[in-house]
Chain A
């Protein structure tokens, strides 16, 4: 194996590098939820690749947020809240005027888009970023990027393993 760095100390202020535990945590949760999606008869029979993809994406984000330890990071809390809110909204509004709501939101989003600056874009990207000051936002961003990269690696390895 490659020579190990016995003392690769992580610098105190920044978030530590993704430890193996983080990766395995993410992997474990994601694999479980992935298995659920794959074995779910409902999703399989409906023939909706997109639906399955969406479910898998939700599973990926939720596994990422949960693996972090939901309360420790603001973005994970916000992410979980968003996912749960979306799940509830899906249940309630499925038969209702969700189309109208979506259109309204898209319109307002387009109008605002021209005025956003760099940090605003970042706030929109990072879950929970709207309520943070810049300093915390950057810290959350760095941790979020780490976890996101780890999640992508996990998904990539699984996909590589199972792709035809």
Chain B
């Protein structure tokens, strides 16, 4: 039975129903065995179960009440042992029995690990949701009081979706979905094109946020990685977990602002520099290039996709026009042997070809020569490593 419980996700609704009945009977039979989380979940909240039992009769109140206390009912009562399974016959609680296939499979575990299982539960839940997309919708009719509050289901569906996603991120608030049987049923709408597109969009956004986190040096990834997830209802709630209230977005904004401030400060500084009389473009650029090249050296060895490189200008030594039209990386290495002299220089100064940018190509000036010659002699042996 337990394997079937675990494979619940793939079963049809008929199998689901049969499984449910089997499961309930099995669970009812050995109450002492069911010191596990599953029966604890069902058994514990006698008060809550009674509330749920009465929920069909009072459509409005329990929905509000339970939504008000999402986690407490189940978690607080988890300490209670198995028992009070009288309401197992309630169809409302039958469906969560189906959902908690994890618990069914782990009957022999102790209660101490129940919270962990509860954390595992939404993950498997999400899997089961992906797999059995049509299933929850079909199992809806099995719930007797379905007809009574479809609108409430939809409301709770949104909360369930939000809570489900929250649970994916924060395992602390897992039990939110537990009371919402119907919610999870509706979540089968994940196969809607809209939901799929939304999910894809959200995944894209999350991926980009992670990249941004890596770019921004201030972000401590461990602290913030798990907290950023662009979920519709609660974008900023995770931010409170970090020290202070800065979310990843705020960190990025601060970083961009600090960079812009640095640009301003540096421009002031550069404006204050007295342009010397013997001001030399060569020396500036040469020195600049040297420092840039040296600092960037490891990355230069990467045979990146080489843009069209065109060398123009009245150079003292080379009056040639080199055109590397999207050199494939291996070729670049080979080219080195032939154009040993020029290629490193081109690698240093990749001139914009007209194809790349619409801007006029900057002519190389004569001041490139001497420092770059030095660099050229240095470069090749290292680059060919």
Residues of A within 8 A of B (CB): 1-8, 13-14, 16-17, 19-21, 23-25, 27-29, 31-32, 34-35, 37-39, 44, 49-50, 52-57, 60-61, 66, 69-71, 118-119, 121-122, 125-126, 134-135, 138-139, 141-142, 144-146, 148-149, 151-152, 154-159, 161-164
Contacts and interface: CB of A to CB of B under 8 A. Distances in A.
Interface of B: 201, 204-205, 207-209, 211-212, 215-216, 230, 235-236, 247, 249-250, 252-253, 255-257, 259-260, 262-264, 266-273, 275, 279, 281, 284-285, 287-289, 291-294, 296-302, 304, 307, 347-350, 352, 356-359, 362, 382, 385
A158 B272 CA distance: 13
17 contacts: A4-B301, A5-B301, A5-B302, A24-B289, A24-B350, A25-B350, A28-B285, A38-B273, A49-B268, A60-B263, A122-B249, A134-B230, A135-B208, A142-B211, A148-B256, A157-B291, A164-B273
Contacts of B287: 161
Contact of B250 (A2, A4, A71, A118): A118
A32 to B, nearest CB: 7
Given A24-B348, A139-B208, A145-B216, A57 B304 contact: no
Contacts of A14: 208, 211
Contacts, number: 197
B266 A8 contact: no
Contacts of A126: 256
Given A2-B297, A56-B267, A118-B250, A157 B260 contact: no
A5 B304 CA distance: 13
A27 B285 contact: yes
A51 to B, nearest CB: 8
Nearest to B298: A4
Contacts of A52: 271
Q: Is the interface of B mostly helix, strand, loop or mixed?
A: helix
A41 to B, nearest CB: 10
Given A31-B281, A134-B205, A53 B289 contact: no
A61 B302 CA distance: 28
A25 B348 contact: no
Contacts of A134: 205, 230
Contacts of A66: 357, 359
A3 B385 CA distance: 10
Nearest to A118: B249
A20 to B, nearest CB: 4
B253 A69 contact: no
B281 A35 contact: yes
Nearest to A11: B211
Contacts of A21: 304, 307, 347, 350
B273 A162 contact: yes
